[in-house]
Structure formats: structure tokens, C-alpha cells
Amino acid sequence: MSENLSQSEMDYPFKLLEYLNGFKVSMAIFSACELGVFDLLSTSPCALSAQQVAQALRASVDGTERLLDALVGIEILHVESQPQDGTALYSSTEVASVYLAKGGAKSLHDLAIYRLETTYPLWNNLTDAVREGKNQFEKTFGTQHKEFFQAIYRTEEKMQKFMGFMKSSWMLDGHDVVTAFNLAGFQNIVDVGGSTGALAREIVKAYPSSSVTVFDLPAVVDMATKHFLLENNTLTFQSGDFFNDELPTADLYVLARILNDWPEEKCLKLLKRICDVCKPGGGVLLVQATLLESRRGPVHAQLSSLNMLVHTEGREHPPSKYTRMLQESGLRDVQLCRTGKYYDVILALR
């Protein structure tokens, strides 16, 4: 906060109150996603009353009306009064239809549901995570899995939801990320831990002559090819464990949101393994929400680092830390591109 802002906050702490209540905004959106409010309103030919919405969603009229009003207040829904009797009629905004209804090309519905079912309960144990310095999967979900991806993937349904959530980011940021550097010189590209192949598809769109392989755990590759494959698929999927199995040879290795999952020794192990198989002149592309060296932001990356604490064994880093790890693994000419959106890109050469 600037000096001026701090002074006006002393008179009445608007911003602080907004922060203290921020979770209520998130929860209202999550519940509406879970109930199907946005799916209903975005496909309805006309605006609907709270009673009609409640009936369609099998929810209470009173609860539905309060939820709809809150969504109007945060400008996610529109409301108009019916001229005859003043009944409130609710309709979807464009933002809600594009981003919060299920199934659209840019839908963030899976992200909202993952936040509701997994992230929010984990954050409920944030104090313990800070005290203990470790993730809270066991305490939150009673899973016996030591390794956090086993915990995230503890059922097929959970795996599919996590993968849907991962995919949604690249519908928004994918193009900026893959064009942050000109990758046209890299012919064979491997997206290491590439999940559904959503980012790999953005690479092929931007560089149609490249050939892209998605490398991920066997169960993830199975799920990706069963539920996330497009009709005109041009990607190759290869399954394996990136810490132990042979990695495909390539000119460029993409690691998107991978290093923030792991402690430094595992990051170095993975980077060194990649460096060993990467051809000279080839490269490694990191895609991460990077922290500012000054420690003053960006807030989304700082909150993501806390999120990594409750979820994983890793954390977010500033670019200097990634540079050090890349150089220690045998890579050079490290360059950073801040996209101005959620994810930044670091390119290093072999």
C-alpha cells in the first residue's frame, strides 16, 4: 500500500475489509458453479426469477435469491425488475457465460470446482502449514499417500477434475506463453509433465511445423487420451516418470508449472536429467508465476507460493533462483519474459 492509501485506510479500512471478506466472494462464485447457476442462466432464452432458478436447481428460494443478489453485487449477473409486478429477473453477464458456465472454450468452471473441493479445504489448514512447513493433504483429506500427486490423483474423478483445471489456464494464457520467445527454431518439443496437452496444442498452433510430445505419468496419459483428446490431434503422448524413466530426446523441453511442485534437490535432479538428453543448441522453457526480486509482488505469485505450501513440496521463486538452478544444471543464456499476465516464461539454452 502507498503512504496515501495507508493514511486513508486509517480513516476507514475499505481495502482491509475487502480482504477480510474476500473468501465470501470466491465462495459465492464456487457455489453458483457447483449448483449450475451459470449453466442455467447462460442457456436460458430469457431472464429468470429466483423462484424459477431455485426450482430448476432444486434449491431453496430464499437461499437462491440471496446468492443471485450477491452475484449481481459483484457484477457477475444482471438483474432487472419486471414492470408489471416488480419481480426481479436475473440474467447472465458475458463474463459469466464465457468463463463460469461449463464446457466453453474459455471456461474456468473446472478451476472454480477444484478451488472449492480441494484448494479451499487445504487453505483452511494454512496456519498449520505455516507452523509445520509442509502440505496439509493428509490432515485435510485423510489420504495416506505420501507423494502429493498420488494424493491429488487418488480417484479417477479427482484426476480428471485436476486435469480439467490445469487445462483451463492455457485457454487463457497459452498463446502469450508460447509466443513470449520465438520458438520456431525448435523442431522437436517435449512438454514435460504436460497433462492434457493443452499447452502443447498452443505450441502447435503457434508453430505448425513443430512436432510436440506430451510426457506425463501413465495414468495421466491414459486419462488425457481418453477424455481430453481433440479430433484433429497431432500430439504424441508418452508415459513415464520424469525422475526415473528415460526422457524423449528433443530440441526444446517445456516445464510448465512443474518446478514449483518440488523442493530444490528434485528440481535440480529433473533439470540435470533434461540437460543430459537435450541436444546442444537446444533449450529448456520454464513457465511459472515468478516472484519479484524485491519481494513486493506480484500478489498472485505470492499467494501461489502459499498455495504450493498447502498443496505440494515446492514453492514459487523469483527469476534469479530459476537462473541459478538452470545454470547449475548446465544450461546457459537464461532470458526472462514477463508476459504481464499470470505466467512468465524463462528460456535457457544448452
Ligand X SMILES: C[S@@+](CC[C@H](N)C(=O)[O-])C[C@H]1O[C@@H](n2cnc3c(N)ncnc32)[C@H](O)[C@@H]1O
- Residue 322, helix vs strand vs coil: helix
Q: Is 235 in the site for ligand X (CB under 6 A)?
A: no
Closest residue to ligand X, based on beta-carbon distance: 193
- Check binding of 226 to ligand X (CB under 6 A): no
Least distance (Å) between residue 156 CB and ligand X: 13
Q: Is 212 in the site for ligand X (CB under 6 A)?
A: no
CA–chain centroid gap for 286, Å, is: 15
Task: State the Cα angle at 110 between 240 and 300, rounded to 5°.
Answer: 90
241 interacts with ligand X by CB under 6 A: yes
Distances in Å between the Cα of 185 and the Cα atoms of 37, 56, 209, 234, 274 are: 46, 53, 10, 19, 19
Among 257, 273, 311, 350, binds ligand X (CB under 6 A): 257
291 vs 305: CA distance, rounded Å:
9
Check residue 242 for interaction with ligand X (CB under 6 A).
Answer: yes
Q: Is 56 helix (H, G, I), strand (E, B) or coil?
A: helix
What DSSP state is assigned to residue 87? -
Based on the shown chain and the rule CB under 6 A, indicate whether residue 307 belongs to the binding site for ligand X: no
258 binds ligand X (CB under 6 A): yes
The dihedral built from the CA positions of residue 305, 306, 307 and 309, taken in this order, carries a sign that is positive
Nearer to ligand X, 186 or 242 (CB): 242
Of the residues 42, 125, 136, 195, which one makes contact with ligand X according to CB under 6 A: 195
Stretch that binds ligand X, among 4-12, 16-24, 122-130, 240-248 (CB under 6 A): 240-248
Q: Which residue type sits at 195?
A: S
**Identity of the residue, 193 or 282, whose beta carbon is nearer to ligand X in the bound complex:** 193
Number of alpha carbons in the 13 Å side-chain half-sphere of residue 172? 17
Q: Which of 180, 217, 247, 284 binds ligand X (CB under 6 A)?
A: 217
User: Binding pattern to ligand X, positions 127-166, x when CB under 6 A?
Assistant: ----------------------x----------------x
Q: Which residue stretch of 20-28, 34-42, 97-105, 214-222 sits at the interface with ligand X (rule: CB under 6 A)?
A: 214-222
Choice from 216, 251, 316, 344 touching ligand X (CB under 6 A): 216
Cα distances (Å, whole numbers) of residue 289 to 14, 173, 297, 298: 28, 11, 11, 9
Give the x/- contact pattern for ligand X in 22-61, rule: CB under 6 A: ----------------------------------------
What CA–CA distance (Å, rounded) separates 290 from 281? 25
Q: 175 near 167, Cβ under 8 Å?
A: no
- Point out which residues bind ligand X (CB under 6 A): 149, 166, 193-195, 199, 216-217, 220, 241-243, 256-258, 261
